[in-house]
Amino acid sequence: MVSFVVEKPQRMSASQNVVVSETTRSSIIPNNSSSAQKAPTAHPGFISISKKKLLKNLEIINGGQRINAWVDSMRASSPTHLKALPSSISSQQQLNSWIMDHPSALDMFEQIMEASAGKQIVMFLDYDGTLSPIVDDPDRAYMSSKMRRTVKKLAKCFPTAIVTGRCIDKVYNFVKLAELYYAGSHGMDIKGPAKGLSRHKRVKQSLLYQPASDYLPMIDEVYKQLLEKTKSTPGVKIENHKFCASVHFRCVDEKKWSELVLQVRSVLKDYPTLKLTQGRKVFEIRPMIDWDKGKALEFLLESLGFGNSNNVFPVYIGDDRTDEDAFKMLQDRGEGFGILVSKFPKDTDASYSLQDPSEASPHTRIYMICVSIIHIYIVVYIYLYV
Ligand SMILES: O=P(O)(O)OC[C@H]1O[C@H](O[C@H]2O[C@H](CO)[C@@H](O)[C@H](O)[C@H]2O)[C@H](O)[C@@H](O)[C@@H]1O
């Protein structure tokens, strides 16, 4: 039986977390006692619900299984922002203080230029919510042609990778750029640029690494079971991402969420080697292996010959909790920086943010940052070599 514990890991692998409330990085993870940690203190400036209070709020139903925590977590899953502020702190004050800690990447040209001078920039880009806007139907999360042109230009200047929860085939159908590296299925499927590019037909990327290949049949089985179990829930969408599966509830009526949770759990109970994490209005079912977007980033840097190099400057742009693993990896390596795309303050390991109160689309923001990075590169190149 899979049961769940509530914990508050502050700096554990972000992708292992299912956020219980908007104000914490609390998580619901499969109940294995070794993973239950002592609750650390919350990040300063961030409001946390105590474990006791949270547990009090949990409703014990269905043979002792806790459902309300899941539903709270689902409610908070997109957009993630800080609602439950003490009345003494206005949301504007909180935003200001967060921006002091995570300044807009667009205001930091000089610092970025200085820090990256003489180093090889390597670009890592998340897809959903970063290169494409969040939309109701995951099959229609198109990237604009303008964005595609920007990414193409970027890839001419620097090695560029798409790091996504989607499987490579699906993300490739949106991005359509053979010259990129792709780390699909949350980094569990890594491919390099295709050799012998063709304008007319897709040339297959070269396989670099698949750390969860043993899980392929299991994920397929789970995907089919999820389809079957959830078919009575209107609006649900199940995706097979090869090494992981997604259960979307963005279009499921909130009244049906507890029912959906029960359906998902009834499938997962037979698969103790899978874990469940949560993204933006989506449950992600993934192999319980020590691999995430951060590890994929590290792997790609090594593959590019920058394993032990001081001459590399990786930049990772992402919007979701799973991107935190990559931000953390950069922070731990002390190289490059992470940029969080978010309009709201979030607990993050990214150094910079891209948030736009004037509601510019993610396209515009990423476009601007990419153009800026290309600009920085050209300036540095001219400075050094011309
Ligand atoms: O790592 P990412 O590239 O950010 O992928 C994470 C998930 O993205 C997709 O779902 C999200 O975007 C959808 C389209 O905008 C939206 O409908 C959904 O609510 C979001 O969660 C993708 O469909 C998932 O499978 C990925 O895991």
* pLDDT tens by residue, 81-107: 444 445 556 778 888 888 889 988 878
| Torsion sign, CA atoms 191, 193, 197, 202 | positive
133 C-alpha to center of ligand 1: Å?
Answer: 10
Q: For 30-37, what is the mean pLDDT?
A: 34
- Contacting residues for 193 by C-beta, under 8 A, at least 6 apart: 178, 179, 180, 181, 205, 206
Of all protein residues, whose CA lies closest to atom 27 belonging to ligand 1?
165
Report the 10 Å Cβ neighbour count for 38. Answer: 8
Please give the C-alpha separations between residue 91 and each of 62, 73, 86, in angstroms, as whole numbers.
38, 21, 9
∠ CA 370-371-376, rounded to 5°: 95
Query: What is the per-residue pLDDT for 364?
Result: 57
64 C-alpha to center of ligand 1: Å?
Answer: 31
Query: What is the per-residue pLDDT for 333?
Result: 93
> Residues lining ligand 1, judged by CB closer than 6 Å?
126-129, 134-136, 138, 141, 164-166, 239, 241, 246, 248, 250, 279-282, 284, 320, 322
Query: What is the per-residue pLDDT for 200?
Result: 57
Strand intervals (E) in the chain: 4-7, 27-30, 60-61, 65-66, 120-125, 160-163, 181-184, 189-192, 206-209, 237-240, 245-248, 274-279, 282-287, 312-318, 337-341, 352-354
Q: For 9-28, what is the mean pLDDT?
A: 32
Of all protein residues, whose CA lies closest to atom 21 belonging to ligand 1?
280
Residue 259 phi/psi, 5-degree rounding, is: -60, -40
Query: What is the per-residue pLDDT for 53?
Result: 45
Name the one residue in this structure whose structure tokens are 């590890």.
295
As a whole number of angstroms, the distance between CA 49 and CA 137 comes to 32
Helix axes 257-268, 216-229, angle to 10 degrees: 140
The pTM (predicted TM-score) of the whole model is: 0.79
Query: What is the per-residue pLDDT for 63?
Result: 42
E strand or H helix at 56, and its extent?
Answer: helix 51-57
Nearest to 82 by CA among 72, 92, 69: 92
Residue 321 phi/psi, 5-degree rounding, is: -65, -35
Query: What is the per-residue pLDDT for 44?
Result: 33
The partner residues of 285 in beta bridges, in order of sequence, read 245, 276
Mean pLDDT of the chain: 78
138 C-alpha to center of ligand 1: Å?
Answer: 6
| Residue 24 in this model has a pLDDT that exceeds 50 | no
**Residue with more model confidence, 86 or 239:** 239
**Residue with more model confidence, 167 or 31:** 167
**Residue with more model confidence, 289 or 197:** 289
68-77, 200-209, 340-349: the lowest-pLDDT one: 200-209
Query: What is the per-residue pLDDT for 232?
Result: 96
Nearest to 193 by CA among 165, 240, 151: 151
The tens digit of pLDDT for each residue in 126-148 reads 999 889 989 999 999 999 898 89
Closest atom of ligand 1 to CA, residue 319: 4
Query: What is the per-residue pLDDT for 215?
Result: 98
Query: What is the per-residue pLDDT for 186?
Result: 97
Query: What is the per-residue pLDDT for 293?
Result: 98
250 C-alpha to center of ligand 1: Å?
Answer: 10
Query: What is the per-residue pLDDT for 68?
Result: 81
Number of helices followed by number of strands (H, E) in the chain: 11, 16
E strand or H helix at 93, and its extent?
Answer: helix 91-101
Q: With bands split at pLDDT 50, 70 and 90, how would you rate the model's confidence at 203?
A: low
Q: For 280-305, what is the mean pLDDT?
A: 96
> At 88, is the secondary structure helix, strand, or coil?
coil
Cis peptide before 79 (omega within 30 of 0): yes
Residue 223 phi/psi, 5-degree rounding, is: -55, -45
As a whole number of angstroms, the distance between CA 7 and CA 91 comes to 26
Query: What is the per-residue pLDDT for 372?
Result: 67
Query: What is the per-residue pLDDT for 225?
Result: 98
- Percent of the chain exceeding pLDDT 90 equals 49
Query: What is the per-residue pLDDT for 70?
Result: 84
Side-chain-side CA neighbours of 142 within 13 Å: the count stands at 4
The tens digit of pLDDT for each residue in 319-375 reads 999 999 999 999 999 999 999 988 888 899 999 988 653 334 455 556 666 666 666
Please give the C-alpha separations between residue 287 and each of 16, 98, 211, 295, 380, in angstroms, as whole numbers.
11, 34, 10, 14, 42
Of all protein residues, whose CA lies closest to atom 5 belonging to ligand 1?
165
Please give the C-alpha separations between residue 129 and each of 230, 232, 315, in angstroms, as whole numbers.
26, 29, 17
Judge if ipTM > 0.95: yes
Q: Strand 181-184 to strand 189-192: parallel, antiparallel, or no bridges (unpaired)?
A: antiparallel
